[in-house]
A and B are shown apart, each in its own frame.
Chain A
Amino acid sequence: MTETPLRPPRSQWAEVWDQFRTHRGAMVGMVVFLAIAALVILGPWVYRVDPTFINIRARNQGMSWTYPLGTDQLGRDMLARLIAGGRVSISVGLTAMALSILLGTFIGLLAGYFRRLDGPLMRLTDLFLALPLLPLLLVMVLFFREPLATRFGPETGIFVLIVVAIGVTSWMQTARIVRGDVLALKEREFVLAARSIGTPDRRMLSRHILPNVMSPIMVSATLGIANAIITESALSFLGLGFPPDFPTWGRLLFDAVDYIRDYPERVFWPGLMISLIVLSANFIGDGLRDALDPRIRGR
């Protein structure tokens, strides 16, 4: 019929990537994110200093060639601690965010789509929202720290505990947003059209509902990373998280707060890192959200 050769349908992800590349903020965000990730992953192989080695005679040093970012009040190397802390903070942030988004999306989808589940699931959400967070975390840590530590080893054990604790206490906002969007979406005619075709519920959710609620999920995911990193530091500060000698960005920040008058740079570096990670995650989420929407794509 037409002379021009027809393009076979392209993979959607190729078009998403094309659009993502045109979003300058998202690209900058991704470069920053990958740079920080590379620093904390590859750093220990390049900068071979033990972050927990105490050298009391070299305490409270400023920046120098031996100690690029100085040392803390116990003489531990700040750069090494920043790199080690980044590993923990970023992995806690990403895993806890993933867990809370998965939980929230799943519960929101079910509650919005199946009328029968709406009441029970939303009351469960209200219940979680009404729970006082810190006492709950305290109880969780008291009960599960020992069994998990013996099962997975002290560090992995506490990691699992913290990720789960943050994950199961922060999914409620996502669930509510997703439920609201699903409620509106399922009244749209294309859902009715899919039903008239005979699309079963599971594919209705995966093909028609989920892609259309991606935008709010993306936004709450990027905010979730920030939230998880900050909650983790609050937990560590209260002594409920990782052990005190175990560096995380939140821990470094809170340790440094006592010395902020004399050594403000010790607050500056971990603070900068947290801000950069959160900001770059937000930009990446923004770009992804745009790229996933065909109405914005190609503009």
Chain B
Amino acid sequence: MRDAGASSAPPLVEVDGLKMYFPITSGLLRRRTGDVKAVDDVSFTIAAGETLGLVGESGCGKSTCGRAILRLYTPTAGRVRIDGHAVSEASPAELRRLRPMMQMVFQDPQASLNPRMTVAAIIGEPLEEHTTLTRAEKLDRIYSLMDAVGLNRAFANRYPHEFSGGQRQRIGIARALALNPKFIVCDEPIAALDVSIQAQVVNLLEDLQAQFGLTYLFISHDLSMVRHIANRVAVMYLGRIVELAPRDDLYGRPQHPYTQALLSAVPEPDPRIEATRRRIILKGDVPSPARPPAGCAFSTRCPQVMDICRAERPALTQIAPGHLAACHLHRPTTATAGRTGGIEAPRTGTPEQTQQGETA
């Protein structure tokens, strides 16, 4: 359904070949001796009104990716277009005019609110910067935003430290909504919250999406929460997208070994299924993004690694309609071939068998 909408109208957010390298300097002269490739050649699109989930383990470049899209960092390479505006090439003055369209909700609600400002001042700051409302109009808008995110109006004069984590996150969301943005990057908005509060905040985000027609990039490492909120999901590993698919396809038929391993780690609420759940335990650590392995970045830990994986980097290719994966196990095929199960058949076996079958 979403894909059909996306193909007819141009997507709201287009990210093309985004790279974000941080230089490593060393020695007395602080010469540049290498790069930390936090985000390496990431491309995706997000349709208007859609939620794209971006998942991956810590340090895989999810947050950096979100920040580079909003030009909070200057990307090393690549293009970002949001609602037809070239965000990645905008001059500082243009960028300032584009800011109201794209906003961000931060991970740590404690750190993302200035401790010296009242709630009213925090929510009012975007209005201060981008509108010419009078003081009374501004206060009115602040109150209506506080209503929208479920904060009592009487809290307007309080300071962030007087609130609980969930309430602080609501303040952050109200600030992001103040300028009627089209696109919001939610950078792990629930990671710092209690489990009981997480659901509230996610439901609030969903309600606001329905109410204001928002588009989200939802960055998280909580796979169950992403399954709840996202329409499509992208999985990142070491700065690259390894799999990108509609939610049900990704959770139902994960194609990349890394995605399979990630999903196998999600606990099941039903104890009977949980008892039979088979975890794929990955060995070793994530390689340093300063020196990623040659070939496929996941080749050092992949249970189904082949010779070609260590030599050649797999491209992100379509293996089923709307389902993209970067893995040599899946050669680019026509959409029908992906569905017949010719590729998926050996995957039901143990990893060893699959490996033998593939290399033979």
Interface residues of A (CB under 8 A from B): 1-2, 4, 6-10, 12, 188-190, 192-200, 203, 207-208, 211-212, 292-295, 297
Instruction: State whether A190 and B112 are in contact (beta carbons under 8 Å apart), knowing that A197-B129, A198-B130, A294-B159 are contacts in the complex.
Output: yes
Q: A1-B147, A192-B67, A293-B115 are in contact. List 15 more A-B contacts (CB 8 A).
A: A2-B153, A7-B157, A189-B111, A190-B113, A192-B112, A196-B99, A196-B103, A197-B130, A198-B99, A200-B96, A207-B117, A207-B125, A211-B117, A292-B116, A295-B161
Q: Which of A2, A12, A190, A198 contacts B154 (CB 8 A)?
A: A2
Whether A197 contacts B154 by the Cβ 8 Å rule is no
Q: Give the complex CA separation of A188 and B110 in angstroms.
A: 10
Q: Give the complex CA separation of A19 and B106 in angstroms.
A: 32
In the bound complex, residues from chain B placing their C-beta under 8 Å from that of A295 are 115, 159, 161
Give 10 nearest A-B pairs by CB, closest first.
A198-B99, A189-B112, A294-B159, A189-B111, A211-B116, A198-B96, A190-B114, A196-B104, A197-B126, A193-B112
Could you pull out 8 A-B pairs where Cβ atoms are within 8 angstroms? A9-B118, A9-B139, A12-B118, A192-B72, A195-B72, A197-B130, A198-B96, A294-B115
What range describes how many residues of B lie at the interface? 35 or more
Q: Give the complex CA separation of A28 and B248 in angstroms.
A: 69
Please, which residue of chain B has its CB at the minimum distance from the CB of A8? B139
At the interface, yes or no: B152 with Cβ under 8 Å from chain A?
A: yes
CB of B168, distance to nearest CB on chain A (Å) = 11
Q: Give the complex CA separation of A194 and B121 in angstroms.
A: 12
Instruction: State whether A193 and B95 are in contact (beta carbons under 8 Å apart), knowing that A6-B154, A294-B115 are contacts in the complex.
Output: no
In the bound complex, residues from chain B placing their C-beta under 8 Å from that of A200 are 96
Please, which residue of chain B has its CB at the minimum distance from the CB of A203? B129
Q: Which of B70, B95, B157 contacts A9 (CB 8 A)?
A: B157
Whether A199 contacts B125 by the Cβ 8 Å rule is yes
CB of A150, distance to nearest CB on chain B (Å) = 47
CB of B121, distance to nearest CB on chain A (Å) = 8
CB of A198, distance to nearest CB on chain B (Å) = 3
Q: Give the complex CA separation of A297 and B111 in angstroms.
A: 19
Q: Give the complex CA separation of A85 and B149 in angstroms.
A: 61
In the bound complex, residues from chain A placing their C-beta under 8 Å from that of B95 are 198
Q: Which of B125-156 contact A (CB under 8 A)?
A: 125-126, 129-130, 139, 143, 147, 152-154, 156
At the interface, yes or no: B174 with Cβ under 8 Å from chain A?
A: no
Whether A197 contacts B172 by the Cβ 8 Å rule is no
Whether A212 contacts B111 by the Cβ 8 Å rule is no
Q: Give the complex CA separation of A297 and B160 in angstroms.
A: 13
Whether B161 contacts A197 by the Cβ 8 Å rule is no
Whether A1 contacts B130 by the Cβ 8 Å rule is no
Please, which residue of chain A has its CB at the minimum distance from the CB of B95? A198
Whether B157 contacts A193 by the Cβ 8 Å rule is no
At the interface, yes or no: B232 with Cβ under 8 Å from chain A?
A: no
Whether A294 contacts B161 by the Cβ 8 Å rule is yes
Please, which residue of chain A has its CB at the minimum distance from the CB of B102? A196
Q: Give the complex CA separation of A295 and B172 in angstroms.
A: 19
Q: Give the complex CA separation of A208 and B175 in angstroms.
A: 15
B154-193 interface mask toward A, CB cutoff 8 Å, 1 = contact, 0 = none?
1011010100000000001001000100000000000000
Instruction: State whether A2 and B111 are in contact (beta carbons under 8 Å apart), knowing that A192-B106, A198-B130 are contacts in the complex.
Output: no
At the interface, yes or no: B120 with Cβ under 8 Å from chain A?
A: yes
Whether B129 contacts A198 by the Cβ 8 Å rule is yes
At the interface, yes or no: B107 with Cβ under 8 Å from chain A?
A: yes
Instruction: State whether A9 and B125 are in contact (beta carbons under 8 Å apart), knowing that A189-B112, A192-B112 are contacts in the complex.
Output: no
At the interface, yes or no: B108 with Cβ under 8 Å from chain A?
A: yes
Please, which residue of chain B has its CB at the minimum distance from the CB of A210? B116
Q: Give the complex CA separation of A299 and B159 in angstroms.
A: 13
Q: Give the complex CA separation of A196 and B129 in angstroms.
A: 11
Whether B113 contacts A9 by the Cβ 8 Å rule is no
CB of B169, distance to nearest CB on chain A (Å) = 12
In the bound complex, residues from chain A placing their C-beta under 8 Å from that of B126 are 197-198
Whether B125 contacts A212 by the Cβ 8 Å rule is no
Instruction: State whether A6 and B114 are in contact (beta carbons under 8 Å apart), knowing that A196-B70, A196-B99, A197-B125 are contacts in the complex.
Output: no
Q: Give the complex CA separation of A189 and B66 in angstroms.
A: 14
Q: Give the complex CA separation of A9 and B154 in angstroms.
A: 10
Please, which residue of chain A has its CB at the minimum distance from the CB of B109? A189
In the bound complex, residues from chain A placing their C-beta under 8 Å from that of B112 are 189-190, 192-193
In the bound complex, residues from chain A placing their C-beta under 8 Å from that of B99 are 196-198
In the bound complex, residues from chain A placing their C-beta under 8 Å from that of B175 are 193, 197
Q: Give the complex CA separation of A194 and B175 in angstroms.
A: 10
Whether A190 contacts B129 by the Cβ 8 Å rule is no
Whether A212 contacts B116 by the Cβ 8 Å rule is yes
CB of A200, distance to nearest CB on chain B (Å) = 7
Q: Which of B111, B125, B154 contacts A4 (CB 8 A)?
A: B154
CB of B130, distance to nearest CB on chain A (Å) = 7
In the bound complex, residues from chain A placing their C-beta under 8 Å from that of B100 are 198
CB of B202, distance to nearest CB on chain A (Å) = 20
CB of B174, distance to nearest CB on chain A (Å) = 12
Whether A6 contacts B116 by the Cβ 8 Å rule is no
In the bound complex, residues from chain A placing their C-beta under 8 Å from that of B102 are 196
Q: Give the complex CA separation of A188 and B113 in angstroms.
A: 9
Most chain B CB neighbours (cut-off 10 Å) among A10, A199, A212: A199
Q: Which of A6, A189, A203, A293 contacts B108 (CB 8 A)?
A: A189
Instruction: State whether A9 and B120 are in contact (beta carbons under 8 Å apart), knowing that A189-B112, A198-B99 are contacts in the complex.
Output: yes
In the bound complex, residues from chain B placing their C-beta under 8 Å from that of A293 are 115-116
In the bound complex, residues from chain A placing their C-beta under 8 Å from that of B118 are 9, 12
In the bound complex, residues from chain A placing their C-beta under 8 Å from that of B154 are 2, 4, 6-7
Whether B125 contacts A194 by the Cβ 8 Å rule is yes
Q: Give the complex CA separation of A100 and B308 in angstroms.
A: 66
Whether B107 contacts A189 by the Cβ 8 Å rule is yes
Whether B111 contacts A188 by the Cβ 8 Å rule is yes
Q: Give the complex CA separation of A206 and B41 in angstroms.
A: 38
In the bound complex, residues from chain B placing their C-beta under 8 Å from that of A294 are 115-116, 159, 161
Q: Give the complex CA separation of A4 and B153 in angstroms.
A: 10
CB of A171, distance to nearest CB on chain B (Å) = 24
